[in-house]
Structure 1
Amino acid sequence: MKNVKVYTQPACPPCEFVKQYFDMHGIEYELLNIKEDADARNELINTYDSLSTPTIVINGEVIIGFKQELIDDLLNIS
């Protein structure tokens, strides 16, 4: 099973799209709200060098924004 994290925040339409996409494909993911969780915010900035949502981490591979082809490749979605 792939380890998938989605860093998100309220009022982020692309974040909602990512969640719907993963749900549609039955992909399990950990949702991290950077507005409510300071540890998640710090991890996003310091570990993944990102200031944007959605930021998706799949088995350590960082994807900033919704990049469907890369996501599909990493998760073997056809």
Structure 2
Amino acid sequence: MNVKIYSTPTCPYCIQAKKYLDGKNVQYEEFDVSKDRDAAMEMINKSGQRGVPVIDVNGEIIVGFDKARLDSLISG
């Protein structure tokens, strides 16, 4: 499974999403879009959004911390 999370250090939903993934023992790659312009552009191109978090699970894009959708993608 390939999971990427685009976030910022001060975003409360980003922190929740990362804690949730940690609790499920899901490995993910984190991109701080406040410091990484290339990652920010990649996130915008994938999602059409500038808000965080954006979570990419095997190419499926979740905007925000949508626990039900995240569960369905990481358990499937």
TM-score (norm 1): 0.91
* Alignment partner, residue 66 of structure 1: 65
In the alignment, is the contact (CA less than 8 A) between 2:7 and 2:30 conserved in 1?
yes
- Equivalent-residue separation in structure 1 for 2:70 and 2:46 (angstroms): 20
Q: State the shift of 1:45 in Å.
A: 1.1
Cα RMSD of the aligned pairs, angstroms, is 1.2
What is the number of residues matched between the two proteins? Answer: 76
Q: Which runs of 5+ in 2 are unaligned?
A: none
Structure 1 consecutive aligned stretches of length 4 or more whose deviation exceeds 6 Å: none
Tell me the equivalent position of 2:10: 11
State the Cα distance separating 1:52 from its structure 2 match: 1.0
In structure 1, the gaps of 5 or more residues are none
User: How does the TM-score come out when normalised to structure 2?
Assistant: 0.94
The answer to whether the 8 Å contact 2:57/2:73 transfers is: yes
Q: Which amino acid aligns with 2:6?
A: Y
